[in-house]
Homo-oligomer: A and B are copies of this chain.
Amino acid sequence: MKSNREMEQLDKRKKKTIEERRQDILEAALNIFTEKGYNGSTTAEIARAAGVAEGTIFRHFATKKELLVAVLKPKILKGIISLDKEQKDPVEFFRCFLKNRLELIKENDGLVRFMFAEAQYHEEVREALSNGILGDGINIIKPWFDKGVEEGVFKPIPFPAMMRSFMGMVLFYGIFNHVFPGFSPERTIDEAADQILELFLNGLLIN
């Protein structure tokens, strides 16, 4: 019997492991889905893009919808952990967080738009988003918001209202540029983040 190490080497040279095949399918599905939408994509097309037979998809995922959920689940909130935890200043936290989110959203532009588009029609997607963003994401933001309020730096507005507006500003960034191409002159992420942050922190009024 060969060692695991030898088996892995063989696999790399000749064959793909089950997990690698799975990843191929997930990656292809992500690309096709984000381009054409869930109902606009066919399993045949995904199989072609993944370089497998159509039947292989259903060996890994029982249904097309199961594939959809499997595509989205691991993508939700990816990277939130990488946030700098040594921040002590609530304002600085929001600055870092916003830039981090905006970069993530720009990198995964199609994915984010796809997620929120399909969330309109699939309960499963809404649940995944709720569990991910509400379950984990908000637990990171809320303490910082509360801290800012306690320190007298932030206004004591209701957290959900703040959250809703903040997410709107950030998430709509990609949607806006996709729906209204060319309207917003192209700038760097930093510039966009600064503009959003300025509005979010200080508002439109001057005094």
Contact = CB atoms under 8 A, between A and B. Distances in A.
Interface in A118-156: 118-121, 126, 129-130, 133-134, 148, 152-155
A37 B94 CA distance: 35
Interface in A58-100: 91, 94
- The dominant DSSP class at the A interface is helix
Interface size class of A (residues with CB under 8 A): 35 or more
A117 B118 CA distance: 7
A199 B114 contact: no
A165 interface: yes
A38 B165 CA distance: 28
A177 B170 CA distance: 16
Contacts of A176: 164, 167-168
A198 B116 CA distance: 26
Central interface residue in A37, A202, A204, by most chain B CB within 10 Å: A204
Contact of A161 (B134, B175, B184): B184
A30 interface: no
A206 interface: yes
B167 A172 contact: yes
A205 interface: yes
Contact of A130 (B118, B121, B180): B180
A178 interface: yes
A39 interface: yes
A175 to B, nearest CB: 6
A184 B138 CA distance: 13
A28 interface: no
